[in-house]
């Protein structure tokens, strides 16, 4: 059965590290495609600095030209917090002919058992864990044994917080984000 990679996040803003992680997972696990799902309101962290629709637009801009990547507005059009188990259940219902693979950074691995309905997550997907530079590899939570694939490949030391800080300081973010995203950020003055 074909596998669909799911990459959720605030993408506040999306950067080249996100794209590299998705591409590494796509290649390593032979994913048919990767669906990026910008969150409206994350339940485990503060609200994003940009509104949902500009973040969605930046993801769409970033994915232009990559036939294996697509963006979904599933989360940004729903009210309330974005829970991964609810998103995966909806996607599973819409795409029953595909196995779901949730792509997460190594910094999130230890947190997964604290997410809403972690046992349901294990039923709905496998996890693809991509290393983040400067983040020590987390120990595998016992609850996830047998449900996780470690993804090899180059990782870029870029973060959304770094991009936002540079924008606040009125510094260039070129070559940290795709060119179209840099243009969009400059035009709208986001995070400045």
Q: For the domain that residue 131 is a member of, what is the CATH number?
A: 3.40.50.620
Give a yes or no: residue 26 inside a domain.
yes
Q: Are 18 and 8 in contact (CB under 8 A)?
A: no
Domain count of the fold of the chain = 1
CA terminus-to-terminus distance, the chain: 45
Q: Round to whole Å and give the CA distance between 102 and 167.
A: 30
**pTM of the full structure:** 0.95
Range of the domain at 11: 3-157
Give a yes or no: residue 35 inside a domain.
yes
pLDDT of amino acid 132: 86
Give a yes or no: residue 170 inside a domain.
no
Q: Are 38 and 74 in contact (CB under 8 A)?
A: no
Give a yes or no: residue 163 inside a domain.
no
Give a yes or no: residue 83 inside a domain.
yes
pLDDT greater than 90 at residue 95: yes
Q: Round to whole Å and give the CA distance between 161 and 107.
A: 15
Sorting pLDDT into bands at 50, 70 and 90, what band is 43?
A: confident
Average pLDDT over residues 146-163: 93
């Amino acid at each position: 059965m074909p596998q669909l990679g799911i990459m959720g996040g605030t993408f506040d803003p999306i950067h080249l590290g996100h794209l590299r992680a998705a591409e590494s997972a796509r290649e390593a696990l032979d994913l048919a495609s990767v669906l990026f799902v910008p969150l409206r309101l994350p339940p485990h962290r503060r609200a994003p600095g940009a509104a949902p629709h500009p973040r969605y637009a930046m993801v769409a801009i970033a994915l232009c030209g990559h036939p294996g990547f697509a963006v979904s507005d599933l989360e940004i059009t729903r009210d309330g917090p974005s829970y991964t188990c609810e998103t995966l259940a909806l996607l599973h219902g819409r795409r029953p002919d595909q196995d779901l693979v949730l792509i997460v950074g190594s910094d999130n691995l230890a947190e997964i058992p604290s997410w809403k309905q972690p046992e349901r997550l294990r039923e709905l997907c496998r996890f693809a864990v991509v290393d983040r530079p400067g983040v020590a590899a987390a120990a595998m939570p016992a609850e996830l044994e047998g449900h996780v694939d470690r993804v090899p490949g180059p990782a870029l030391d870029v973060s959304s917080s770094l991009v936002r800080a540079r924008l606040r300081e009125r510094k260039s973010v070129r070559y940290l984000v795709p060119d179209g995203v840099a243009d969009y950020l400059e035009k709208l003055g986001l995070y400045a």
